[in-house]
């Protein structure tokens, strides 16, 4: 029992980029359980903006042909972590759209484990992260396809934008496949704002901060495309970006 009360260290793979001091304060993190019944749909937005440190641990169980649309805006405080583990039944569908906006020195991370337990389930994960000076943004995403989960269709799209040379991004998409006839794709890119585009916007009259804000809004907005509260998420993301620039 005592081992459960100990906070994880950076030796634990899922915690290696975490802010250990903050984790020690937050520990233990209670897991929240969400179950979506067969054929049902559920949409949820998690907005982590307030407070110095925060950590969420969410376990989602999708029964056969259940659908879940999860959106995350991880944009507050010095340390923010959202960990999601999802189990998909036959024909289930999981969509994750997540944006992280890390101000100076902050450590933000999203950790996902998506397990396809039965045939023909679909998972789509899109993560967009922005890191300011000295900030660290991470995405650790494991997609596991269990034996017999044929016809699995999984996708991970991970991009990070560094606003300063001292910013850091970690992206680790991971696949673990024990079935045949599986389609799993992942794409990953870390970059800086396009200097050509910034000059173009400036030449039309936008001051540098406004030009950057406009491009970053477009960058993170992709995570909220089609969300039921898309407008609210976009507005909150914009406010978070303005605070970083």
Partner 1 sequence: MLTIENLHASVADKPILKGLNLTINAGEIHAIMGPNGAGKSTTGYVLGGRPGYDVTEGTATFDGQDLFALEPHERAAAGLFLGFQYPVEIPGVSNLQFLREALNSQRKARGEEPLSGGEFLKLAREKSALLKMDMEMLKRPVNVGFSGGEKKRAEMVQMGILNPKLAILDETDSGLDIDALRICGEGINAIMRAPDKAVLLITHYQRLLDYVKPDFVHVLAGGRIVKSGGPELALELEEGGYEGVAA
Q: Which range, of 14-22, 75-83, 160-168, 214-222, touches partner 1 by CB under 8 A?
A: 214-222
- CA–CA distance, 177 with 184 (Å, rounded to integer): 9
Q: Which is nearer to partner 1, 4 or 196 (CB)?
A: 196
Question: Is 165 near partner 1 (CB under 8 A)?
Answer: no
Contact between residue 62 and residue 43 where contact means Cβ atoms under 8 Å apart: no
> Site map for partner 1, 108-147, x if CB under 8 A?
----------------------------------------
Query: What's the closest the beta carbon of residue 213 comes to partner 1, in angstroms?
Result: 9
Main-chain dihedrals φ then ψ at residue 65, nearest 5 degrees: 60, 20
Dihedrals phi, psi of 216, to nearest 5 degrees = -70, -35
Contact with partner 1 (CB under 8 A) among 197, 235, 239, 243: 197
Coil, helix or strand at residue 11 = coil
Least CB distance from residue 153 to partner 1, whole Å? 25
Which DSSP helix (H) or strand (E) runs through 62? strand 53-62
**Nearest residue (CB) to partner 1, 179 versus 206:** 206
Position 235 contacts partner 1 (CB under 8 A): no
Structure-token pair, residue 105:
């020195």
Binding segment toward partner 1, per CB under 8 A, in 9-17, 117-125, 150-158, 200-208: 200-208
In DSSP notation, 131-178 reads E-TT-EEEEEEEEEE-TT-TT-EEEEEEEEEESSTT-EEEEEEEEEE-
Please give the residue ranges that form the binding site for partner 1 (CB under 8 A): 194-197, 199-208, 210-211, 214-215, 217-219, 221-222
């Amino acid at each position: 029992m005592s081992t459960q009360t100990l906070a994880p260290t950076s030796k634990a793979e899922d915690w290696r980029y975490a802010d250990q001091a903050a984790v020690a304060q937050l520990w233990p993190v209670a897991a929240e359980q969400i179950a979506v019944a067969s054929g049902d749909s559920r949409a949820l937005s998690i907005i982590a903006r307030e407070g110095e440190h925060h950590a969420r641990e969410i376990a989602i169980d999708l029964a056969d042909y259940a659908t879940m649309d999860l959106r995350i805006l991880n944009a507050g405080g010095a340390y923010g972590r959202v960990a999601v583990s999802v189990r998909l039944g036959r024909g289930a569908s999981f969509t994750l759209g997540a944006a992280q906006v890390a101000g100076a020195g902050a450590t933000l991370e999203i950790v996902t484990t998506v397990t396809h337990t039965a045939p023909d389930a679909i998972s789509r994960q899109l993560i967009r992260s922005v890191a300011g000076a000295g900030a660290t943004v991470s995405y650790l995403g494991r997609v596991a396809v269990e034996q017999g989960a044929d016809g699995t269709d999984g996708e991970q799209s991970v991009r990070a934008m560094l606003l300063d040379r001292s910013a850091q991004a970690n992206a680790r998409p991971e696949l673990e496949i024990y079935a045949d006839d599986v389609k799993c794709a992942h794409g990953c890119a870390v970059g800086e704002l396009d200097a050509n585009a910034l000059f173009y916007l400036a030449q039309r009259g936008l001051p540098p901060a406004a030009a950057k804000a406009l491009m970053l809004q477009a960058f993170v907005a992709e995570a909220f495309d089609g969300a039921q509260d898309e407008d609210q998420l976009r507005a909150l993301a914009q406010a978070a970006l303005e605070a970083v620039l």
